[in-house]
């Protein structure tokens, strides 16, 4: 059974993100030396280069796959862009001025029963998406696997902080409520409201759109949210905004499904029968969201839904950075690897790479949850 | 004469206001850098490490009207009274040559009750007679100030007439040799002096320029100037800009409290860094408009376009960084983000144009191009109105009849006093900050 059709390799230049060929020793875009080991915690390499003999990422299943430690500033790191200047205390090159890759540019995480990958994409200067995943033992002896994915609203201030706060806050709230025996759907509802409050709090007390709006209006931090919780036979989805969840069964002969309805202009147009789906998504306003978490939100109405899947498969929870390139359930099913249920982290990586290969116009975040949840390892997660 | 232990250096803060987003292919980065200094901690009553030389015009024209010389004497006395104890000072009488009035002998006096009384006594002997050669006054002031060993060196210069008794190049050369060695405020009294000469002196020597049309107002103005000088706590501060490889500084100007072009005053300060002089600082806040042209980068990239720091150079060549801010460039394909203009950048762009069109309008008016002058001054009225620069709007209203300020529709006044015209020209570079 072929699990990894591609050998482990760099797919894009760690410095300039130019797509690479497997045989490249130097980046065709910026000339970066690809055989040089990337600086720990900063390079965007998502896989070791075949030439440097590094261990493949598979050596650490079940553990956070991401190296989260940022090298302390001013320690003589060399610039990833020009390869000649040193990095200053603010994270810029002292020679060419280029910003250095940040921790959130590329993140990966795997815990028992769920994996997530997030990437800055190719066109945005920072990653404003965030995710949180966990696997928890329940008081009744069962296991709850949960993933929360958030997409910061770019037109607002500090969207990256909003998504980080919402994903972490909602996941903690879901875990806490499930631990108290709250039904998953109610736990999801409460968690989204709680996350909404945390994002609103980022705006600071007495937030109001700033004055001198002659040129620009400063919006409060805001983000979308989508969550998936698997408890036994039950799959619970919750969301606000246009981040999505899909059901992709192992047996591709059976019907995949989109599990969320966007709070977006396009979705509203389609729901109102004013435009066809194709027409609506072709419009430049398609992605204008009509629901979000943040101090500027009119009223947060969390959507929740519960499903009882009757066969094995995976739940794909993602931001529009992915689903822009695989909009329908059928398209999504076509790009989810066949072995996604047994290799969720690798599948999440493959989906992110698919989005980058399609242009990577937005931040991309994907969480993959096998169903039914894998029981093993839950206690140690 | 280095004084390394200077606990009285104020705390500086640097804030950067900009829209960092550039469109694909965009290269020009604009930012407003606000520098504020607070709480130097020099307790009231302690002597600033400062020296001041007052240069008083004693040319023959100061005799007409006779009150002018008397007012100048009174104003100088008021300035002497405003000297803090312990500050070094001297008074110079300026004609076609410079003469030490007090204390004399190429020295400075240290201010206390006795020396202040002696100085005022010496002022009685000031009498008009002779020509005007301002370059010689500045060179004498420079000799006196540099002999003082003080770190804050300041001049106050009063003139009532044109610099007729030396070639313009002589004044230019004197300014070039004095620049960076001391700062100087310049005042024109009456209406027989040349605006560009007085503003040129203040500009070159990082001081203020103003008109005192009525000699009776001199004493109050001199007191204010001296109090401002006494408030200075640290001298020779520079704005240092570091820019990355391949980037160039398009321009640097102070934009508040007044317009001052600094671009050409750069001195190199290490690899890809240059210093722009800002003079002495007390408790105050100034804004600088920095425009940098960076090398192109791909959408999604972020670059440090410039690092703006306030530095205090030491005699050994090193520099103490007082505060710094970052000017960034981020390339995006989001047009809404990249086409937004930062409100402060827009405001000061307007203020810069305001100063420019006033100068152009007055020049055209003098050369007889009334249509051209009307267009420029109309635009000035419009800008002063829209940006809330009320002081300048009032000065403009003395030169033109405003029909509609919003559209900039104006008529030139048939009769304009020399005072109104010179006041407008002298103060055209005064700016206001963004309205809250």
User: What are the beta bridge partners of residue B130?
Assistant: none
Query: Is the distance from CB of A106 to CB of A119 less than 8 angstroms?
Result: yes
Q: What is the ipTM of this complex?
A: 0.74
Tell me the per-residue pLDDT of A230-283, one tens digit each, with 9 for 90 and over: 999 999 999 999 999 999 999 999 999 999 999 988 888 888 888 888 888 888
Say yes or no for a CB contact (<8 Å) between A93 and B304: yes
The verdict on A157 touching B (C-beta cutoff 8 Å) is no
How far apart are the C-alpha atoms of B406 and B393, rounded to whole Å? 12
Per-residue confidence (pLDDT) for residue A29, from 0 to 100: 54
Tens of pLDDT, residues B192-210: 999 999 999 999 999 999 9
Question: CB-CB: which of A97, A122, A154 is closest to B300?
Answer: A122
| pLDDT score, position A10 | 58
The last residue of one of the domains, among A101, A133, A148, is A101
Q: Which residue ranges make up each domain of chain B?
A: 11-37+235-334, 50-230, 343-426
* Distance, C-alpha A184 to centroid of its chain: 22
CB contact under 8 Å between A95 and B245, yes or no, is yes
Contact criterion met (CB < 8 Å) for A125 and B300 = yes
- Partners of B331 on chain A (C-beta within 8 Å) are 125
Residue B290's pLDDT is 98
Structural fold of domain B50-230? Rossmann fold (3.40.50)
Q: Are residues A44 and A96 in the same domain?
A: yes
pLDDT given at position A381? 36
- CB contacts, 8 Å: B298 with chain A: 16-17
Whose tokens are 């722009």? That residue is B276
- Render pLDDT for B256-301 as a digit per residue (tens, 0 to 9): 999 999 999 999 998 899 999 999 999 999 999 999 999 999 998 9
Let me know whether A84 and A129 are in one domain: no
The pLDDT assigned to A102 comes to: 83
Out of A82, A101, A120, a domain closes at: A101
From residue A150, give the alpha-carbon distance in Å to each of A90, B68, B134, B282, B400: 27, 75, 69, 48, 59
> A235 and A325 share a domain?
yes
| Under 8 Å between Cβ of B284 and B36 | yes
Of B294, B295, B302, Cβ closest to residue A99 = B302
Whether domain B11-37+235-334 has CATH 1.10.3720.10 = no
Q: How does residue A34 score in pLDDT terms, banded at 50, 70 and 90?
A: low
Task: Indicate whether A27 pLDDT > 50.
Answer: yes
Judge if the upstream peptide bond of residue B65 is cis by omega within 30 degrees of 0. Answer: yes
Distance to chain A for B245, nearest Cα, Å? 5
pLDDT value at position A24? 61
Q: Are both A194 and A260 inside the same structural domain? A: yes
Q: Which of B299, B302, B328 to mutate to test the interface with A (most CBs of A within 10 A)?
A: B302
Distance CA A297, CA A314 (A): 32
Q: Give the one of B299, B307, B340 whose C-beta lies nearest to A216's C-beta.
A: B340
pLDDT at position B313: 85
Query: How many domains are contained in chain A?
Result: 2
How far, CA to CA in Å, does B95 sit from each of A338, B60, B103, B146? Answer: 95, 8, 18, 22
Find the CB nearest A98 among B301, B326, B343: B301
User: Tokens 């002022």, residue?
Assistant: B123
Average pLDDT over residues A52-78: 42
Whole-angstrom Cα distance, residue A341 to residue A303? 26
Do A320 and A191 have their domain in common?
Answer: yes
Residue A154, chain B, CB below 8 Å: the answer is yes
Co-location of A274 and A125 in the same domain? yes
Structure tokens at B128: 């008009």
> Minimal Cα–Cα distance from B272 to chain A, Å?
9
Both A178 and A72 in a single domain? no
User: How many other CB atoms sit within 10 Å of the CB of residue B132?
Assistant: 25
Is A284 within 8 Å of chain B by CB? no
Of 1.20.120.1690, 1.10.490.10, 1.10.238.10, 3.40.50.10860, the CATH number of B343-426 is 1.20.120.1690
**Is residue B80's pLDDT more than 50?**
yes
Q: For chain B, what is the mean pLDDT?
A: 92
Residue B392 exposed, middle or buried by CB count within 10 Å (0-12, 13-18, 19+) = buried
DSSP B337: H
Q: What is the mean pLDDT of residues A288-317?
A: 92
Can you read off the two tokens belonging to residue B357? 């069109």
Judge contact between A230 and A371, C-beta under 8 A: yes
Token pair for B26: 């965009």
Looking at chain B, which residue has its C-alpha nearest residue A156? B337
Q: Which domain holds residue A345?
A: 104-208+216-380
The CA distance from B202 to B198, in Å, is 6
pLDDT score recorded for residue B254 = 97
Residue A335 shares a structural domain with residue A361: yes
pLDDT number for residue A7: 34
> Which domain CATH number covers A200?
3.60.40.10
Smallest Cβ–Cβ distance between A97 and the set B298, B303, B333 belongs to B303
Res. A22 pLDDT band, cuts 50 70 90 = low
pTM: 0.76
- B331-356 per-position pLDDT tens digit: 998 888 899 999 999 999 999 999 99
Domain boundary among A68, A101, A134: A101
């Amino acid at each position: 059974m072929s699990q990894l059709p591609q050998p482990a390799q760099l797919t894009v230049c760690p410095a300039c993100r130019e797509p690479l060929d497997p045989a490249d020793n130097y980046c065709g875009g910026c000339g970066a030396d690809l055989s040089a080991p990337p600086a720990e915690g900063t390079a965007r390499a998502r896989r070791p280069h075949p030439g440097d003999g590094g261990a493949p990422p598979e050596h650490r299943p079940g553990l956070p796959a991401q190296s989260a430690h940022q090298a302390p500033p001013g320690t003589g790191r060399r610039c990833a862009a020009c390869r000649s200047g040193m990095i200053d205390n603010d994270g810029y090159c002292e020679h060419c001025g280029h910003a250095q890759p940040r921790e959130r540019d590329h993140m990966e995480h795997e815990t028992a029963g769920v994996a997530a990958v997030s990437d800055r994409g190719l066109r945005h200067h920072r990653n404003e998406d965030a995710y949180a995943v966990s696997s928890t033992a329940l008081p009744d002896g069962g296991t709850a696997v949960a993933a929360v994915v958030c997409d910061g609203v770019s037109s607002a201030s500090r969207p990256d902080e909003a998504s980080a706060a919402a994903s972490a806050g909602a996941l903690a709230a879901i875990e806490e409520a499930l631990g108290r025996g709250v039904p998953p759907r109610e736990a999801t509802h409460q968690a989204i409201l709680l996350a909404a409050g945390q994002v609103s709090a980022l705006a600071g007390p007495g937030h109001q759109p700033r004055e001198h709006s002659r040129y620009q209006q400063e919006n409060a931090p805001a983000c979308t949210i989508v969550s998936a919780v698997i408890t036994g036979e039950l799959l619970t989805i919750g969301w606000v905004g246009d981040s999505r969840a899909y059901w992709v069964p192992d047996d591709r002969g059976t019907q995949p499904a989109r599990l969320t309805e966007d709070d977006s202009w396009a979705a509203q147009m389609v729901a109102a029968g004013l435009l066809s789906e194709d027409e609506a998504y072709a419009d430049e306003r398609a992605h204008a969201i009509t629901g979000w978490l943040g101090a500027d939100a009119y009223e947060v109405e969390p959507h929740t839904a519960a499903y009882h899947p009757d066969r094995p498969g995976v739940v794909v929870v993602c931001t529009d950075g992915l689903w822009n390139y695989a909009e329908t359930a059928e398209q999504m099913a076509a790009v989810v690897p066949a072995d996604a249920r047994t290799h969720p982290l690798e599948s999440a990586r493959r989906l992110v790479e698919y989005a980058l290969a399609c242009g990577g116009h937005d931040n991309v975040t994907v969480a993959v949850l096998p169903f039914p949840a894998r029981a093993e390892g839950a206690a140690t997660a | 004469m280095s004084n390394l232990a200077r606990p009285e250096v104020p705390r500086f803060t640097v804030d950067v206001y900009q829209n960092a987003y550039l469109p694909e292919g965009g290269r020009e980065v604009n930012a407003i850098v606000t520098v504020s200094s607070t709480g130097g901690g020099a307790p009231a009553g302690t002597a600033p490490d400062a020296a001041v030389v007052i240069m008083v015009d004693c040319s023959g024209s100061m005799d007409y009207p006779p009150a002018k010389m008397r007012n100048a004497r009174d104003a100088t006395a008021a300035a002497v009274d405003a000297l803090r104890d312990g500050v070094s000072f001297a008074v110079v009488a300026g004609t076609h040559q410079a003469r030490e009035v007090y204390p004399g002998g190429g020295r400075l006096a240290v201010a206390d009750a006795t020396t202040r009384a002696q100085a005022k006594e010496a002022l009685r002997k000031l009498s008009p007679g002779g020509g005007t050669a301002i370059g010689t006054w500045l060179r004498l002031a420079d000799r006196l100030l540099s002999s003082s060993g003080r770190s804050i060196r300041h001049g106050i210069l009063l003139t009532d007439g044109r610099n007729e008794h030396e070639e313009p190049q002589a004044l230019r050369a004197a300014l070039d040799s004095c620049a960076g060695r001391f700062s100087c405020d310049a005042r024109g009294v009456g209406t027989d002096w040349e605006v560009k000469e007085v503003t040129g002196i203040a500009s070159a020597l990082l001081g203020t320029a103003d008109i005192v049309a009525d000699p009776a107002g001199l004493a109050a103005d001199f007191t204010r100037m001296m109090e401002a000088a006494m408030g200075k706590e640290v001298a020779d501060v520079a704005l240092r800009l570091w820019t990355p490889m391949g980037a160039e500084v398009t321009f640097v100007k102070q934009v508040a409290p007044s317009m001052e072009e600094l671009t050409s005053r750069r001195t190199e300060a290490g690899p890809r860094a240059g210093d722009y002089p800002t003079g002495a600082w007390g408790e105050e806040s100034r804004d600088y408009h920095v425009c940098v042209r960076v090398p192109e980068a791909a959408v999604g990239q972020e670059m440090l376009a410039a690092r703006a720091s306030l530095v205090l150079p030491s005699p050994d060549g090193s520099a103490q960084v007082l505060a710094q801010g970052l000017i960034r460039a981020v390339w995006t394909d989001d047009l809404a983000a990249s086409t937004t203009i930062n409100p402060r950048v827009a405001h000061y762009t307007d203020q810069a144009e305001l100063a420019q069109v006033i100068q152009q309008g007055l020049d055209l008016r003098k050369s007889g191009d009334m249509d051209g002058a009307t267009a420029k001054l109309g635009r000035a009225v419009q800008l002063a109105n829209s940006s809330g620069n009320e002081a300048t709007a009032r000065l403009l209203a003395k030169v033109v009849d405003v029909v509609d300020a919003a559209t900039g529709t104006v008529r030139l006044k048939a009769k304009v006093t020399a005072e109104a015209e010179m006041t407008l020209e002298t103060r055209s570079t005064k700016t206001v900050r963004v309205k809250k």
